[in-house]
Amino acid sequence: MKPTIRKFALIKAKLLLPIMAAVASLAATAHAAAPGITGPTFKLVAAPAFLTQPDGEMIYSWGYGCDPNSPPTGFAPAAIKNTFCSSMQVPGPTLIVNEGDTVTITLTNNLPTPAGNTSILFPGFQVKGTGGVAGLTTQEAIPGGSVTYTFTATTPGTRAYYSGTQSDLQIEMGLYGVIIVLPNKIPTSACGSLKSGGLPATNPG
């Protein structure tokens, strides 16, 4: 990989990952609508592409996207018209599921063969991987192959998902995204006190 490409990939990851972390930190108190694809079944690909930057420069990246042979059928919010999910984007598609869902995600590795295997980690969930080959942290998809991950969305919140293979390289190149687990019941006590102009009650003792 050319040093310039790797440099831009590193800068891109350093800029976007703190934003994702900030969003995740607000998940317990904020209940905003975020655009994404709805599950609980998803078919994703890992693929390369040149992404156009604001200055017009093209940067070679890797990213997750939707399998063009099995496009998603659900999008959120429903009010958004002319929705689509590209076969490669950075960050990857926002995956939206409900608390308690059994989530199934199939990943196909469309990266260049020299890139080797790839995978996805879902921190915070007990994930079962099937197919592919065993990697250091999870099941991996070989070039041209697929792997399936299954887990129960046990707790609501917003979490990052990202590659568990050669993470120092693959995350920098763009293999990361966000999964949102919507709560079955939205808490109202804290929201009510905030609406009235006050802060949530705290225990001074």
For residues 62 and 83, what is the distance between their CA atoms, to the nearest angstrom? 22
pLDDT at 191: 53
> Is 189 or 9 the better-scoring residue by pLDDT?
189
Q: In the predicted model, is pLDDT for residue 15 greater than 50? A: no
pLDDT tens column, 60-69: 999 999 999 9
Sign of CA dihedral 63, 68, 74, 75: positive
Query: Rounded mean pLDDT of 118-126?
Result: 97
Write down the pTM of the prediction: 0.76
- Pair 43, 67: CB distance under 8 Å: yes
Task: Place 161 in a pLDDT band, splitting at 50, 70 and 90.
Answer: very high
Taking the mean position of all CA atoms in its chain, how far away is CA 40? 14
Residue showing tokens 């990202």 = 162
Sign of CA dihedral 126, 33, 79, 62: negative
Task: Place 21 in a pLDDT band, splitting at 50, 70 and 90.
Answer: very low
Query: Rounded mean pLDDT of 111-137?
Result: 97
Q: In the predicted model, is pLDDT for residue 16 greater than 70? A: no
- Residue 147 CB coordination number (10 Å): 24
Q: In the predicted model, is pLDDT for residue 179 greater than 80? A: yes
